[in-house]
Amino acid sequence: MYRIFINDKALIIETSEGSFDTAESVEIETYSCSSCMTRAINKLENGLCERLVLQGEDLNLMWQDFSSRYEFIEAAGGVVLNSQGDVLWIKRNDKWDLPKGKVEEGELVEETAVREVEEECALHGVARGELLGVTYHTYKMKGVKVLKKTYWYAMICADEQNLKPQIEEGIIEVIWADKEKHVECALDTYTSIAELLKREKVLHHLGF
């Protein structure tokens, strides 16, 4: 199964035998040809539904159809805790977000994750843990449609350090959020981040 966020709306690509949370408000369509994918993407791009499940027999074929329409970019970042258990958040484009950035040529994704966290927040000595999950989302950059796959790692930064936002990357604020503030930030973030934070591995890392 693939879950991709298009304009903060979820496209779920899965086999016909797949399952999903029936409590979710979703539309379900069957994939039989490329035009089915086009129709599904257009619905989400135009805000005609919040979640759309596209079911078909061949998951790889559907994924190839979807991903061939975009320029593919890999990124990596972290869910970072300090010694008090506070969570690192950044503010960019009027939304709370988690620090992440593009994988450079020849760089391992786990190296990218630490580098980007340290650069975006002016941290050092960040310790990387396990991979917590992967998210997909699309956006337009200079007229080009981009599909971004982001790897998220558990991280710890035990030292007390002065946070400084990387202004040139559009970051206007960096904070350590206690549990109450973390919940507040999670209500004002992207849907892909909000769903990431609900995953079992992430909750275990956060100690919630």
Instruction: State the pLDDT at residue 22.
Output: 52
DSSP state of 104: P
Predicted TM-score (pTM) of this structure: 0.93
Residues 164 and 193 in one domain: yes
Cα-flanking dihedrals φ and ψ of residue 126, to 5°?
-75, 130
Instruction: State the pLDDT at residue 176.
Output: 95
Regarding beta strands 127-141 and 87-92, do their DSSP bridges make them parallel or antiparallel, or are they unpaired? Answer: unpaired
Its domain, for residue 161, covers 73-206
Instruction: State the pLDDT at residue 20.
Output: 56
Question: How high is the mean pLDDT in each 10-residue block of the chain (208 residues)?
Answer: 96 79 75 96 94 95 97 98 95 96 96 97 95 97 95 90 92 96 97 96 93
- The total of other beta-carbon atoms located within 10 Å of residue 115's CB is 16
Residues 53 and 79 in one domain: no
* CATH number for the domain that contains residue 155: 3.90.79.10
Instruction: State the pLDDT at residue 139.
Output: 94
How many structural domains is the chain composed of?
2
Instruction: State the pLDDT at residue 112.
Output: 98
Of 67, 84, 99, the one marking the end of a domain is: 67
Residues 136 and 181 in one domain: yes
Instruction: State the pLDDT at residue 18.
Output: 57
